[in-house]
A and B are shown apart, each in its own frame.
Chain A
Amino acid sequence: MSLVISTISLGLLWSVLALGVYITFRVLNIADLSVEGTFPLGAAVAAALIDKGAAPLAAVAAAAAAGMIGGALTGLMHTKLKIPALLAGILTMIGLYSVNLRVMGKANISLLGMDTMYSRMEEMGLSKEVAVLAAGVLVVAVIAALMYWFFGTEVGMSIRATGQNPQMIRAQGVNTHHTILLGLILGNALVAISGALIAQNNGFADVGMGIGTIVIGLASVIIGEVLFGARSFKNSLIAVVLGSIVYRAVIAAVLKLGMSPNDLKLLTAVLVALALSLPLMKEKILAAKGGGANAAR
């Protein structure tokens, strides 16, 4: 039972990352690798502040602000300096590695025994397990609701249109540099918040904790869409959160079955590669049968 609860809780905390990746990867149609730098950045900022005695919520807010700056750097390199998005993200990711070391002053900050978001909730009489679950539910509900609202506003609609068809939305008078920048800022804010939440749950922040986060985010988004659909924006948001939980469940299951934790990243990479190639394989199979609508291609 406790494994189930902790899996769900962890899935919720990670789903904040997945929602951030959803903004860049699905809404903006950009594979943004800054995530690998802004996730540990969020963890580092929150841990460093908590270590200095800051209130846990303020630390999470500061982490979000730091993530925004990271996203803005990638966005500015991509739009103003015309660096391809993938490369701009890599540059941010690499640069932030040094920044994260500076922020923490060392490679690792332990939060054991410190005042975290969860310990604050434990003080209200909850067990650690329930505290993390409650925090996860609360944070994810607020973030998903805010996202649903924002992407339904005029500005949010123009960001969605930018990802779909930049030429069209420019012809409708929108500066796509601004919309891309805004999307990357928001996405990385969520990623950094996720880093801050995970660090407090793990009891430490580590400079290496960003490795593979983009793939974890993509896996959650894709698993969610495949299992729970993407009919509407609201549907997608819920699917991404559930996808993140399913991903954690898969990880918990294979570990339980005796897989070495060292092999997890390989498993995730293979899963994502398979999922990303699914549409093409489907088409090829249909073409081979001679019945596909796009068989001629």
Chain B
Amino acid sequence: MLRVEKVSKTFYKGTVNEKVALDNVSVQLAPGDFVTVIGGNGAGKSTLLNAVAGVYPVDGGEGRIYIDGRDVTKMAEHQRARYIGRVFQDPMLGTAAGMMLRENLALAARRGKRLGLKWGLPAGETAFYKERLRALDLGLEERLDAKVGLLSGGQRQAVTLLMAVLQRPPLLLLDEHTAALDPKTAEKVLQLTEQIVSENNLTTLMITHNMRDAIAMGNRLIMMEEGKMIIDLAGEDKKNLTVARLLEAFEQVSHKSFTQDTALLSK
């Protein structure tokens, strides 16, 4: 469903600040895979997600990105959007605050479609939005005409999640989407994530700082460091994973003890 082949990304190329954020990374996700990606600050997790989403072009050369069999390497961010649902770390980024909940959903319902001069809020779509909002169980189905800026961070993140999957995208990208929420709200949003991903059988790539979440969720776990994937566990290995085993695996692979910046990962 997603195939990343030999992709590299270097920031500030040719300057003293040159930083290789992705170093010849290849990874393939089968349909329905729910992959959690973990790693310290600067490990390349977000760069990987942004490269797939098309926020910036990857380094030239043989690097290729395929979604659902299509080569999207050269596509602009808005062109790829039709294949990708995205939720950002900052709950403010996924929605337009000054627009009604209804309007935000209507835009998501038209993602990747040709927009025309038809009325943007046909009355016929209300029932559909209400039904999908009801599934979130946050009471938002009664607040379709409220401006999204009036909702809490957790509610906005839940709405963004719903917007991302409203059209059942081939690929769902979650960029530390609970990191900015309080623990209780984060828990709720993670629950919703699991529910939505499994109901729709979505191919998902989820970045997290939280080892427990990375271990508890999904069917596959990837750990990144210095722009490379250093651990990739699936199936039984992933199911039986614990924080202790993951740390052990990390120390074996990197020949380092789990300290300093890698310790930024929260257990």
List the A side residues contacting B116 at CB < 8 Å. 153-155
In the complex, A170 has a CB within 8 A of chain B:
yes
Complex Cα distance, B121 from A154, in Å, reads 8
* Known A157-B107, A164-B99; contact A176-B117, beta-carbon cutoff 8 A: no
User: Which residues 23-62 of A have a CB within 8 angstroms of B?
Assistant: none
In the complex, A152 has a CB within 8 A of chain B:
yes
Q: Select which of A152, A158, A167 is within 8 A of B115 by beta carbon.
A: A158
* A170/B107 in contact, CB under 8 A: no
Complex Cα distance, B104 from A265, in Å, reads 40
Q: Which residue of B lies closest to A158 (CB)?
A: B115
* Known A164-B98, A164-B99, A175-B78; contact A169-B107, beta-carbon cutoff 8 A: yes
List the B side residues contacting A172 at CB < 8 Å. 81, 107-108, 110-111, 163
Interface pick from B7-15, B88-96, B203-211, B253-261:
B88-96
> Size class of B's contact patch?
35 or more
B-facing mask of A167-181, CB < 8 A → 1, else 0? Answer: 111111111100000
Complex Cα distance, B108 from A172, in Å, reads 6
Q: Which residue of A lies closest to B92 (CB)?
A: A165
* A160/B99 in contact, CB under 8 A: yes
Q: A213: shortest Cβ distance to chain B, in Å?
A: 26
Complex Cα distance, B118 from A169, in Å, reads 18
In the complex, A161 has a CB within 8 A of chain B:
yes
List the A side residues contacting B95 at CB < 8 Å. 165, 168
In the complex, B241 has a CB within 8 A of chain A:
no
In the complex, A156 has a CB within 8 A of chain B:
yes
Q: A85: shortest Cβ distance to chain B, in Å?
A: 19
List the B side residues contacting A160 at CB < 8 Å. 96, 98-99, 103
Q: A154: shortest Cβ distance to chain B, in Å?
A: 4
* B96/A153 in contact, CB under 8 A: no
In the complex, B150 has a CB within 8 A of chain A:
no
List the B side residues contacting A169 at CB < 8 Å. 96, 107
In the complex, B139 has a CB within 8 A of chain A:
no
Complex Cα distance, B79 from A171, in Å, reads 9
> Size class of A's contact patch?
20 to 34
* Known A153-B120, A172-B81, A172-B108; contact A165-B86, beta-carbon cutoff 8 A: no
Complex Cα distance, B116 from A223, in Å, reads 33
Complex Cα distance, B96 from A150, in Å, reads 18
Of B88, B108, B117, most A-chain CB atoms within 10 Å: B117
A-facing mask of B110-127, CB < 8 A → 1, else 0? Answer: 111101111111000000
List the A side residues contacting B119 at CB < 8 Å. 152-154
List the B side residues contacting A165 at CB < 8 Å. 92-93, 95-97
* Known A170-B77, A176-B78; contact A164-B118, beta-carbon cutoff 8 A: no
Q: A146: shortest Cβ distance to chain B, in Å?
A: 11
Q: Select which of B97, B103, B106, B113 is within 8 A of A173 by beta carbon.
A: B113
List the B side residues contacting A161 at CB < 8 Å. 96, 99, 103-104, 107
A-facing mask of B62-105, CB < 8 A → 1, else 0? Answer: 00000000000000111101101010100011111111000110
List the A side residues contacting B108 at CB < 8 Å. 172
Q: B26: shortest Cβ distance to chain A, in Å?
A: 25
Of A152, A160, A170, A174, most B-chain CB atoms within 10 Å: A170
List the B side residues contacting A157 at CB < 8 Å. 99, 103, 106-107, 120-121
Q: B264: shortest Cβ distance to chain A, in Å?
A: 25
User: Which residues 173-190 of B have a CB within 8 angstroms of A?
Assistant: none
Q: Select which of B78, B88, B163 is within 8 A of A174 by beta carbon.
A: B78
Complex Cα distance, B108 from A17, in Å, reads 33
* Known A161-B107, A164-B99; contact A170-B120, beta-carbon cutoff 8 A: no
Q: A165: shortest Cβ distance to chain B, in Å?
A: 5
List the A side residues contacting B106 at CB < 8 Å. 154, 157
Q: A188: shortest Cβ distance to chain B, in Å?
A: 20
Q: Which residue of A lies closest to B118 (CB)?
A: A154
In the A-B complex, the 8 residue pairs with the smallest Cβ-Cβ separation, listed nearest first, are: A173-B81, A154-B115, A164-B96, A173-B112, A157-B120, A161-B96, A173-B111, A172-B111
By a beta-carbon cutoff of 8 Å, the part of chain A in contact with chain B is 150, 152-158, 160-161, 164-165, 167-176
With contacts A157-B103, A173-B113 known, what are 11 further pairs, Cβ within 8 A?
A: A155-B115, A155-B116, A155-B117, A160-B99, A161-B96, A161-B103, A165-B96, A171-B86, A172-B81, A172-B110, A173-B81
6 A-B residue pairs with CB within 8 Å: A152-B120, A152-B121, A155-B115, A160-B98, A160-B99, A164-B97
